[in-house]
């Protein structure tokens, strides 16, 4: 069949309906990972006759849910935020469902780089005589699934560094007091972020200082694995993390300097251990992030403390920074800042960031940055 028939130009209304599909897709955040978020809208005669989104991992994809929501989709145009799958996974191929439904045209925001799709979905539709358009609101679709794209293309999760600090850049007073720098509203925002993430990462300094549980309260759609980087010490058996390890996943990232005599008892209490092949904290971070990706994790939060955040910054593993600025000033020459470690000596070596968004949360301000300025 002539490619000119199969590949059509976008129409003025395509962006309007794709925008609705993107809004639907967003509703799957936190529920569908490690799958991508996908939304689908079915239109005939300029009117929406069906819509759906991928609601939960392992369940029906967006296209199937949209087809189920309408009576007769034959001859309709389908708007989907990601190239339809063409392989048998946990569900049958969406391309088969669209072909069998007799749709006339499929408009896709972006292709799926997953190696079992990667253009094959569009090819299947075209070979069945269905007109296709791709690239409608491509940038918005990529932003929606930026973490999924990173994991598929690099094998590593999207890493978010999070900290709270005062207006003058301190994360604690000169004697170490830090609770609370921000207000209740900001802490609620952090718990929502935790509830959509696959892992929460801290160092032993945080464990020893705060004895945290590291859970989302209230619980979100995901139960994050608590991840502790252990270079010289491990959590005490009586700590909240170890005491809850049989109920809430706990992963210890152990330096090669730690022996089995320290780690085996904690494994018997429910913790999982990943043994790094290095004692260098920066290389250990790189190994650990690769390991988290191998576990299928898509979004992880690095909550500190300063030494761990410093190692992540030095290793270049941070994708996004979430900075909560509390309406306080601590002052003090020895009051700590958020990023420890050796730092960068030269200004030209500093990590350049670009501001993505800002928000006022109560009396606090949230700043979100990404690298690649």
Domain boundaries, the chain: 14-147, 156-371
Determine the Cα–Cα distance for residues 76 and 79; give it in Å rounded to an integer: 10
C-alpha Rg value of the chain to the nearest Å: 23
Helix ranges, the chain (H): 3-6, 14-26, 62-69, 94-101, 120-127, 138-144, 146-154, 184-195, 204-210, 240-243, 260-268, 281-294, 306-315
196 annotated as a binding-site residue:
no
- Sorted by sequence, the CB contacts under 8 Å of residue 326 that are 6+ apart come out as 164, 165, 166, 167, 180, 181, 182, 183, 186, 363, 364
203 annotated as a binding-site residue:
no
Query: End-to-end alpha-carbon separation of the chain, Å?
Result: 45
Chain centre distance of CA 331? 34
Determine the Cα–Cα distance for residues 203 and 270; give it in Å rounded to an integer: 19
Task: Identify which of 156, 150, 180 has the alpha carbon closest to the alpha carbon of residue 166.
Answer: 180
**CATH class of residue range 156-371:** alpha beta
214 annotated as a binding-site residue:
yes
In SS3 terms, 205-236 reads as HHHHHHCCCCCCCCCCCCCCEEEEEECCCCCC
Determine the Cα–Cα distance for residues 170 and 130; give it in Å rounded to an integer: 59
| Architecture in CATH for domain 14-147 | 3-Layer(aba) Sandwich (3.40)
- Tokens 């990023």 found at: 339
User: pTM for this one?
Assistant: 0.92
The dihedrals phi and psi of 283, each to the nearest 5 degrees, come to: -65, -35
Angle, CA 228 vertex, CA 227 and CA 231 arms, to 5°: 145
306 annotated as a binding-site residue:
yes
111 annotated as a binding-site residue:
no
Catalytic position from the list 16, 26, 33, 63? 63
Q: 241 with 212: CB under 8 angstroms?
A: yes
- Sorted by sequence, the CB contacts under 8 Å of residue 292 that are 6+ apart come out as 156, 157, 198, 199, 227, 300
Tell me if residue 100 is catalytic: no
- Output the six-digit token pair for 34: 């490690």
Q: Per-residue confidence of the chain (373 residues) as pLDDT tens digits?
A: 334 345 667 786 999 999 999 999 999 999 999 999 999 999 999 999 999 999 999 999 999 999 999 989 999 999 999 999 987 776 788 999 999 999 999 999 999 998 888 888 999 999 999 999 999 999 999 999 999 999 999 999 999 999 999 999 999 999 989 889 999 999 999 999 999 999 999 999 999 989 999 999 999 999 999 999 999 999 999 999 999 999 999 999 999 989 999 999 999 999 999 999 998 999 999 999 999 999 999 999 999 889 999 999 999 999 999 999 999 999 999 999 999 999 999 999 999 999 999 999 999 999 999 986 4
| Region at 30 (left for phi over 0; alpha for psi -120 to 50; beta for the rest) | left
For the range 13-16, what are the long-range contacts, defined as Cβ-Cβ under 8 Å and sequence gap of 24 or more? 13/43, 13/46, 14/79, 14/107, 14/133, 14/136, 15/136, 15/137
Q: 144 with 120: CB under 8 angstroms?
A: no
Chain centre distance of CA 11? 32
238 annotated as a binding-site residue:
no
Determine the Cα–Cα distance for residues 275 and 46; give it in Å rounded to an integer: 57
pLDDT computed for residue 120 by the predictor:
85
């Amino acid at each position: 069949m002539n490619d000119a028939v199969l590949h059509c130009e976008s129409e003025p209304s395509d962006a309007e309906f794709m925008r609705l599909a993107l809004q639907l897709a967003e509703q799957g955040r936190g529920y569908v990972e490690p799958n991508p978020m996908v939304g689908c809208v079915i239109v005939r005669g300029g009117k929406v006759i069906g819509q759906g989104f991928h609601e939960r991992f392992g369940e029906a994809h967006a296209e199937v849910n949209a087809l189920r929501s309408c009576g007769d989709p034959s001859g309709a145009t389908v708007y989907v935020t990601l190239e339809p799958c063409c392989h048998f996974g946990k569900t049958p191929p969406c391309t088969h469902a669209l072909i069998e439904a007799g749709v006339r045209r499929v408009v896709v925001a972006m292709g799926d780089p997953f190696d079992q799709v990667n253009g094959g979905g569009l090819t299947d539709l075209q070979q069945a005589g269905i007109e296709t358009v791709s690239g409608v609101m491509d940038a918005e679709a990529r932003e929606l699934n930026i973490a999924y794209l990173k994991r598929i293309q690099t094998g590593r999760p999207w890493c978010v560094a999070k900290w709270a600090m005062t207006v003058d850049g301190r994360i604690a007073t000169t004697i170490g007091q830090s609770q609370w720098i921000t207000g209740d509203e900001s802490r609620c925002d952090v718990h929502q972020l935790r509830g959509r993430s696959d892992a929460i990462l801290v160092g032993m300094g945080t464990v020893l200082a705060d004895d945290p549980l590291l859970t989302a309260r209230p619980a979100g759609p995901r139960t994050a694995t608590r991840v502790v980087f252990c270079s010289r010490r491990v959590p005490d058996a009586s700590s909240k993390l170890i005491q809850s390890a049989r109920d809430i996943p706990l992963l210890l990232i152990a330096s090669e300097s730690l022996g089995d005599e320290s780690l085996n008892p904690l494994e018997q209490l429910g913790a999982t251990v990943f043994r790094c092949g290095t004692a260098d904290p920066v290389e250990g971070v790189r190994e650990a992030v690769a390991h988290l990706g191998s576990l299928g994790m898509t979004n992880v939060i690095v909550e500190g403390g300063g030494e761990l955040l410093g190692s992540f910054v030095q290793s270049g593993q941070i994708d996004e920074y979430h900075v909560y600025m509390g309406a306080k000033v601590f002052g003090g020459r020895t009051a700590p800042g958020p990023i420890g470690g050796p730092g960068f000596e030269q200004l030209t070596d500093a990590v350049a960031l670009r501001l993505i968004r800002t928000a006022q949360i109560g009396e606090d301000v949230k700043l979100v940055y990404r690298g690649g300025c």
